[in-house]
């Protein structure tokens, strides 16, 4: 009976067939290389499919310093239903964008800053955003403000 793997990779040589050791090693290495290439191709195909699926479902969210955000921190209190507990804290204020995925946030001017991943943040849409951090854009440069060497 031939299995699908036998059709793809070929049937092993019969036990009665005698081969020298170098022939056996060469044949074994060639079969192992073929199997390894096949597995690598399949892994690449599945990896590409998973990346495409993730890219299609994810949304690009970027925050800038001064934005108000919620912080996801699930907690379990004994005797309370997890469904009824709030998993979000805030509003926090974005202090600094460290890189595309990591942000430094702070709850109030006197609280300790936290460094968190983008996936734990959600945009704050409440009525009273924190206004203790005012991020001002630098004034526009004019010809008078440029220092010249004359």
Q: Which of 85-94, 128-137, 139-148 has the lowest mean pLDDT?
A: 139-148
Where exactly are the structural domains of the chain?
19-57, 68-123
Label residue 82 by pLDDT band (50, 70, 90): confident
Instruction: Give the residue among 74, 59, 71, 76 at the shortest CA–CA distance from 117.
Output: 71
pLDDT mean across residues, the chain: 83
Interacting residues of 101 by C-beta distance below 8 A, sequence separation 6+? 117, 118, 119
Angle subtended at Cα 81 by Cα 124 and Cα 117, rounded to the nearest 5 degrees: 35
In this predicted structure, what is the pLDDT of residue 29?
A: 95
CATH assignment of 68-123, given 2.30.30.140, 3.40.640.10, 3.30.420.40, 3.40.50.9100? 2.30.30.140
pLDDT tens string 12-26: 666 546 778 888 899
pLDDT tens string 27-43: 999 999 999 999 999 99
pLDDT tens string 96-129: 999 988 999 999 999 999 999 999 999 998 787 7
């Amino acid at each position: 009976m031939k299995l699908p793997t036998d059709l793809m990779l070929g049937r092993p040589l019969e036990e009665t067939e005698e081969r020298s050791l170098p022939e056996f090693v060469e044949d074994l290495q060639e079969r192992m290389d073929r199997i390894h290439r096949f597995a690598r191709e399949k892994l690449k195909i599945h990896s590409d499919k998973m990346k495409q699926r993730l890219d299609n479902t994810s949304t690009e969210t970027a925050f800038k310093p001064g934005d108000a955000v919620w912080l996801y921190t699930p907690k379990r209190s004994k005797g309370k239903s997890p469904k009824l507990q709030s998993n979000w804290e805030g509003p926090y204020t974005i202090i600094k964008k460290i890189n595309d995925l990591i942000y430094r946030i702070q709850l109030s001017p006197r609280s300790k800053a936290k460094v968190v991943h983008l996936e734990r943040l959600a945009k704050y849409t409440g009525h009273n955003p924190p206004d203790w951090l005012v991020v001002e854009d630098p004034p526009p440069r004019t010809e008078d403000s440029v220092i010249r060497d004359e």
